[in-house]
Chains A and B, each alone.
Chain A
Amino acid sequence: MAVAEIKTTKPQTGFAEFWFYFSRNKGAVMGLVVFLIILFVAVFAAFVAPHSPSVQNRDVLLLPPGWTQGGQWTYLLGTDAVGRDILSRLIYGARFSLFIGLVVVTLSVISGVLVGLIAGYFRGRTDTIIMRVMDIILAFPSLLLALVLVAVLGPGLVNAMIAISLVNLPHFVRLTRAAVMSERTKDYVIASRVAGAGTMRLMFLTILPNCLAPLIVQATLAFSAAILDAAALGFLGMGAQPPTPEWGTMLAEAREFIQRAWWVVTFPGVAILVTVIAINLMGDGLRDALDPKLKRS
């Protein structure tokens, strides 16, 4: 008996297909490049940075950037109020920002997916309770809630990261729950159940892999939101504590010099801006590449 048809063209592998759609979005590719540069700089900060981020040079307080009048080329972006090199601090600060993004996203993705999976799979009362709690978290302005949490836990980078993760949690729960609910009734899940698959297997091996695409997109967007939130908390004095070269904390330290020395506030701000934009652009490209509904053939 003849088989209906045999494909002659070689099917695209997953990654080739992904890159095909991702590379069509020029902004996304630029975002990826910028992000990779930041990643490189952060990882090799010790080799890239011209100075130590914490050494204070009392001879050059508030030195303007190298290309302006009175600047020195050894301090390319100038120095801050206690004579530390701003460029070096920014480079080391990239470590903190990426670390914050990574930890926050990992924490909120793992817990959010778990809670959302339980809510979407079991439905009923469990679902109602979980979703009402998430609604309450969502009802607070996110920064305010993070502030309250940090105030309770005590200021510091680790506590700030925990607070931001909790604030980010409801987005992941909702997204996972919606995806799980639509997958749960599909035939392949029922077929797996008829074959004898237990609850755990159905939840984690059958349903979850099919819900990952929107979660990856949300994770990249949450990554940039986390960096922004951490900077905001740092600025308000509730996040990383000085002398940590965290971008938000740097902004907070420089607040009083806004009038006299523009470079102390501008460069940390630009660093945050560029990183967040790059990651958001990348997230948009990921959405294009991973969401089948947006795929153009």
Chain B
Amino acid sequence: MTHVLEARNLTRDYHIPGSLFKKAKTVHAVKGVSFSVDQGKTLAIVGESGCGKSTLARIVTMIDPATAGDMLIDGNKVDIAKERLTPEMRQKVQIVFQNPYGTLNPRKKIGEILTEPLIINTNMKADDRRDKAMAMLKKVGLEEKHYGRYPHMFSGGQRQRVAIARALMLNPRLLVLDEPVSALDLSVQAQVLNLLADLQDEFQLTYVFISHDLSVVRYIADDVMVMYYGEAVEYGSREEVFSDPKHNYTKTLFAATPRADVESIKARLARKNAA
């Protein structure tokens, strides 16, 4: 069986042109990253700010081309630097962004936002488009009456649901989630994560889940990849990575996670009193 997404040695360099006072330089944002994801599975990509997570997301979503390396979606090689993307490939990968306030066009109603991908990519009739959007609204836990409303009438969690619904309108194979819950408060985070898990079961979706939040990753991931300065320093199943981190950076990362169980709080207080 072919992987839904396979990346081989993906590299992305940003060239910064020099000026009178500065030399030109090249920033290596992603340095040769390889991974693969199977259908219905979730790959979590973890790392600190600026480690190349979002660059990788843009490559996988075919927004930016990779400088070098191969990307295969459903076994087909994709290179947007060389050839135009076919609508079929476009439809296979969709993305959900981090900021729920910037992700929806403020001038468009929810219904227009949801039906736009269908207008562009399919020849469906207006009624069918509407029905499909309505059904999708219900699937993500919103109601039909939200169809004619504008984005500013919704809360952050609701907007993120709309963003997920929009991404699913084209029945994609792969959904790239670029920190989809980082801007939401904890209870809403849980709701959205549960929704994502339900949708994954229902549509057999494949997720690439980008996050810096380890507790979220532990909840949703099947495989975990840890990135550090553009390199994948750790890559394995969730159990492997969490129970037996190999790389120093991963160990530091896990140690830096605040713990809130009673034992660790008592230990911390004891240390504090002793000092």
Q: Does A186 contact B (CB under 8 A)?
A: yes
Q: Which of B149, B157, B163 contacts A191 (CB 8 A)?
A: B163
CA distance A279 to B93 in the complex (A): 50
Q: Does A187 contact B (CB under 8 A)?
A: yes
State whether A194 touches B107 (Cβ < 8 A).
Answer: no
Q: Which of B90, B102, B120, B194 contacts A188 (CB 8 A)?
A: B102
CA distance A197 to B90 in the complex (A): 10
Q: Does B2 contact A (CB under 8 A)?
A: no
Binary interface encoding of chain A residues 195-236 relative to chain B, with 1 for a CB under 8 A from any of its CBs, else 0 = 111100100001001100000000000000000000000000
Q: Does B18 contact A (CB under 8 A)?
A: no
Q: Which of A187, A195, A209 contacts B120 (CB 8 A)?
A: A195
CA distance A209 to B113 in the complex (A): 14
CA distance A196 to B91 in the complex (A): 8
Q: Which of B62, B102, B149, B188 contacts A187 (CB 8 A)?
A: B102
CA distance A196 to B86 in the complex (A): 9
CA distance A160 to B117 in the complex (A): 46
Binary interface encoding of chain A residues 1-32 relative to chain B, with 1 for a CB under 8 A from any of its CBs, else 0 = 11111010001000000000000000000000
Q: Does B170 contact A (CB under 8 A)?
A: yes
Q: Which of A1, A11, A193 contacts B149 (CB 8 A)?
A: A11
Q: Which of B102, B155, B166, B191 contacts A195 (CB 8 A)?
A: B166
Complex contacts, B163 vs chain A, CB 8 Å: 191
CA distance A7 to B121 in the complex (A): 34
Q: Which of A5, A7, A193, A210 contacts B106 (CB 8 A)?
A: A210
State whether B194 touches A191 (Cβ < 8 A).
Answer: no
Q: Which of B107, B158, B194 contacts A4 (CB 8 A)?
A: B158
Q: Which of A1, A191, A210 contacts B166 (CB 8 A)?
A: A191
State whether A195 touches B121 (Cβ < 8 A).
Answer: yes
Q: Which of B99, B103, B121, B149 contacts A196 (CB 8 A)?
A: B121
- Using a CB-CB cutoff of 8 Å, which residues 134-158 of chain B contact chain A? 141-143, 149, 153, 155, 157-158
State whether B103 touches A195 (Cβ < 8 A).
Answer: no
Q: Does A192 contact B (CB under 8 A)?
A: yes
CA distance A193 to B141 in the complex (A): 26
State whether A197 touches B106 (Cβ < 8 A).
Answer: no
- State which size class the interface on A falls in: 20 to 34
CA distance A196 to B90 in the complex (A): 6
State whether B149 touches A195 (Cβ < 8 A).
Answer: no
Q: Does A39 contact B (CB under 8 A)?
A: no
By beta carbon, the residue of chain A nearest B118 is A195
Q: Does B95 contact A (CB under 8 A)?
A: yes
Q: Does A190 contact B (CB under 8 A)?
A: yes
CA distance A194 to B62 in the complex (A): 8
By beta carbon, the residue of chain B nearest A210 is B107
By beta carbon, the residue of chain A nearest B86 is A196
A293 CB to closest chain B CB (Å) equals 14
Binary interface encoding of chain B residues 157-195 relative to chain A, with 1 for a CB under 8 A from any of its CBs, else 0 = 110000100110110000000000000000010010011
Given known A-B contacts A11-B149, A195-B170, A201-B120, A4 and B105 have beta carbons under 8 A apart: no
State whether A196 touches B87 (Cβ < 8 A).
Answer: yes
By beta carbon, the residue of chain B nearest A190 is B63
CA distance A131 to B116 in the complex (A): 33
Q: Does B228 contact A (CB under 8 A)?
A: no
- Using a CB-CB cutoff of 8 Å, which residues 164-193 of chain A contact chain B? 186-188, 190-193
State whether A191 touches B141 (Cβ < 8 A).
Answer: no
Q: Does B94 contact A (CB under 8 A)?
A: yes
B262 CB to closest chain A CB (Å) equals 30
By beta carbon, the residue of chain A nearest B107 is A209
Q: Does B104 contact A (CB under 8 A)?
A: yes
Q: Does B97 contact A (CB under 8 A)?
A: yes
Given known A-B contacts A194-B94, A201-B120, A11 and B153 have beta carbons under 8 A apart: yes
State whether B97 touches A187 (Cβ < 8 A).
Answer: yes
Given known A-B contacts A191-B166, A195-B116, A1 and B106 have beta carbons under 8 A apart: no
State whether B61 touches A188 (Cβ < 8 A).
Answer: no
State whether A191 touches B97 (Cβ < 8 A).
Answer: yes
A125 CB to closest chain B CB (Å) equals 14
If A195-B166, A196-B87, A210-B106 are given as contacts, then 13 extra A-B residue pairs at C-beta distance below 8 Å, sorted by A number, are: A1-B194, A4-B157, A4-B188, A4-B191, A188-B104, A193-B63, A194-B62, A194-B94, A195-B90, A195-B121, A197-B120, A201-B120, A210-B107
Q: 18 A-B residue contacts at CB 8 Å?
A: A1-B195, A3-B158, A4-B157, A4-B188, A11-B149, A187-B99, A190-B95, A191-B97, A191-B163, A192-B116, A195-B117, A195-B120, A195-B121, A196-B90, A198-B120, A210-B105, A210-B106, A210-B107
Q: Which 7 A-B pairs have the closest CB atoms?
A: A195-B117, A187-B97, A187-B102, A187-B103, A209-B107, A188-B105, A4-B157
